[in-house]
Structure 1
Amino acid sequence: MEDLVIRPAAEDDIPALVAMLADDPLGARRDSPDDLTPYRTALQRLSGDPHQHLVVAEREGRVIGTLQLTIIPGLSRRGATRSIIEAVRIHSDERGSGLGTRLIEWAVETSRREGCQLVQLTSDKSRADAHRFYERLGFEPSHIGFKLPL
C-alpha cells in the first residue's frame, strides 16, 4: 500500500465514485452514472462543510476506493463527539487487497485527531461479508437501524 494516496474527493473523481457506488446489487438500485449533476451538487455541499470528509483512495492516478466520514458533536455521552463512516466502496479489482482495511484505519485515525470518542457505521443487513470485515476490525454490532424515506 506504499503507493496509495488517500485524499479529499474532487469533482473529476465523480464518475469513478458513482461507478463504485453503483457496482453492487444495492447500489445499482440507488445510484446511476446517467446524470452526474446531483453528485456534483452533493460534492459541493460536502466540500463546504468542515465536518465532512469525502475521500478517495488513489493508486497511480486511478481512484480505487472511497468513503465518507462525518464528525458529529453531541450532547450525549458527556458531550462526546462521534464520527460516522458511510459509503465505503472498493473498486471490484481491488477487493481483498487490504484497501478496505487501510481506508477504515484512515477514518479511525482521523476521528481520533478530530477528538471523537466513538466511531460508528451502519451496514445493510444483507451484507454479511461486510459485517465480518467490520467485526474483524474491532467494530461490534450494537444497534438496530431505522430509515424513513422522505
Structure 2
Amino acid sequence: MTVRKAEIDDIAGLSELFVDFNGKESNLTAMKKQLEVISANPDYYVAVACDGDRVIGTAMGIACYDLVGDCNSFLLIENVVVLPQYRGQGVGKLLMQALEDFGEIQHCKYVILVSESKRESSHKFYESIGYSTDQRGFKKQLMKHV
C-alpha cells in the first residue's frame, strides 16, 4: 500500500471512491479539469492511497491563509474516503498523515475538518488519531442544487 499525490490517471479510481462516499456518479470531464487546476496550486494536496494500481482511498488538504496572531496558515481537510473493504487497515491513517505532513510543510498551525454527524465510525477514527471534538463546527450549503 502506498500514498502519493493524485494524478490525472487516477480520475476513474477517484470517481469510484466518491460514488461510495456520496452515492452519486462524478462528472469525469469536470473532475479532470478540477484536478488539473488543483494540481497546479501549491496550496492544495490531493492524496491517494493505492493497493498496487488501484486507488483505494483519498483525502484532500488545502492550506488556507489566516490573519490572526502570527498569521500562520491552517489546513482544511475534505473528502476523506476509503473503500469499505480496506477500512480498519491503516489506509485512513496513512492518508491523514500525508496531509498533516503537507500542512507542516505549509506552516499550518492547526487542522480543520468537518464530518457529517451520522458518520460515527469516522468520528471514532478521527478521535483515535488525535482530533478533538471540544469545538463545534458548522456547515451551510450555498448551492441548493448540489
If the length of structure 2 is used for normalisation, what is the TM-score?
A: 0.89
Rounded to whole Å, the distance in 1 between the matches of 2:66 and 2:79 is 22
The Cα of 1:68 is off from its aligned counterpart by 0.4
Q: State the partner residue of 1:20.
A: 17
Matched, 1:8 2:38: no
1:149 matched residue in structure 2: 142
Indicate whether 1:40 and 2:35 are aligned: no
Q: Partners of 2:69 and 2:120 in 1: how far apart?
A: 30
Shift of 1:148: 2.9
Runs of 4+ in 1 over 4 A off after TM superposition: none
Cα distance in structure 1, aligned partners of 2:141 and 2:87: 31
The Cα of 1:7 is off from its aligned counterpart by 1.5
Q: For residues 53-132 of structure 1, what are the structure 2 equivalents within 5 Å?
A: 53-132=45-124
Give the residue type in structure 2 aligned to 1:71. Answer: A
Measure, in 1, the Cα distance between the counterparts of 2:137 and 2:52. 40
Aligned residue for 1:78, secondary structure, equals coil
| Distance (Å, rounded) in 2 between the aligned partners of 1:42 and 1:143 | 30
Q: Hey, what's the Cα distance between the residues in 2 that align with 1:148 and 1:100?
A: 26
Gaps of 5+ in 1: none
Number of aligned positions between the proteins:
142
Letter in 2 for 1:102: L
Among all aligned residue pairs of Structure 1 and Structure 2, give the percentage whose two residues are the same amino acid. Answer: 27
Greater Cα offset, 44-53 or 71-80: 71-80
Instruction: Give me the whole-angstrom Cα distance separating, in 2, the residues matched to 1:16 and 1:116.
Output: 29
Give the Cα separation in 2 of the matches to 1:48 and 1:110: 15
Q: Which amino acid aligns with 1:23?
A: D
Shift of 1:100: 0.7
Q: Which runs of 5+ in 2 are unaligned?
A: none
- Alpha-carbon RMSD across the aligned residues, in angstroms, is 1.4
